[in-house]
Amino acid sequence: MFKIGDKIPAFSVKDHKGRNFNSQDFIGKKFLVLYFYPKSFTRGCTKEAKEFKITEHTFQYFDAEVFGISSDSVKKQQAFHEQLELTFPLLSDPKGEIAQQLGVKKHAFGLVGGRETLVFDKKGILRMRFRQLEVLGHVEKALDVVKELYNEE
């Protein structure tokens, strides 16, 4: 099980534009916020994406990059990104390999993708894991941890 204090594994996935995202590119540079969500275009996932969009500039101020990630295809991620006019990348994990590697658990007897937010420090160490099917709380908790990490520097 991937837990607090573990280092982010090396992985590469495609973003909503088909570009490569490499987990190791942020080590030593930025705090990394990965929020996993079940499915694009659903009510809860749309609300969560909008909340991260509204606060993205604050995350950036505190030296953090936000990425949404789900099992949706690159094409579906692109459509979701465009419809909501998101300002941060969405990552495609179609086989759920990254979610599994990072210990993101599915909901509803394994039928629904997980909703979980992970915050990594600049060394790539997991500093926060927040798992809750409800949308509320993910942005606030992640931002609180990022602010703490920023102030520790």
**What average pLDDT does the segment 94-114 reach?**
78
Domain-located, residue 45: yes
> Taking the CB of residue 116, how many other CB atoms lie within 10 A of it?
22
Arithmetic mean of pLDDT, 100-124: 82
CA distance 115 to 38: 6
Return all residues near 106 (Cβ < 8 A) that are at least 6 apart.
Answer: 112, 113, 114
Mean pLDDT value of segment 134-153: 93
pTM confidence score:
0.94
- List CB contacts of 122: < 8 A, sequence separation 6 or more: 26, 27, 28, 29, 30, 31, 63, 149
**Model confidence over 111-120: pLDDT tens digits?**
556 899 999 9
Query: For 37-64, b where at least 16 C-beta lie within 10 A, e where not — what string?
Result: bbebeeeebbebbebbbebbeebeebeb
Residues in the chain: 153
- The number of beta carbons lying within 10 Å of the beta carbon of residue 80 is 23
In angstroms, the CA 55 to CA 61 distance is 10
Q: Is residue 140 part of a domain?
A: yes
Domain CATH for 101 = 3.40.30.10
Residue 48 lies in a domain: yes
pLDDT at 107: 62
Q: What is the pLDDT of residue 31?
A: 97
As for how many domains the chain has, the answer is: 1
- The per-residue pLDDT for 140 is 95
Question: pLDDT of 16-67, one tens digit each?
Answer: 999 999 999 999 999 999 999 999 999 999 999 999 999 999 999 999 999 9
Half-sphere exposure of 144 (CA within 13 A, CB side): 9
Q: Which domain covers residue 34, as residue numbers? A: 12-75+88-152
Tell me if 80 is assigned to some domain. no
Residue 5 located in a structural domain? no
93 domain-assigned: yes
Q: What is the model's pLDDT at position 102?
A: 95
Q: Calculate what percentage of the chain has a pLDDT beyond 70.
A: 95
Looking at the predicted structure, is the pLDDT value of residue 8 above 80?
yes
- Distance, in Å, from the CA atom of 86 to the CA atom of 76, rounded to the nearest integer, reads 14
What is the model's pLDDT at position 105? 81
Residue 4 belongs to a domain: no
* 2 is a domain residue: no
Q: For position 44, what pLDDT does the model report?
A: 92
Catalytic residues: 45
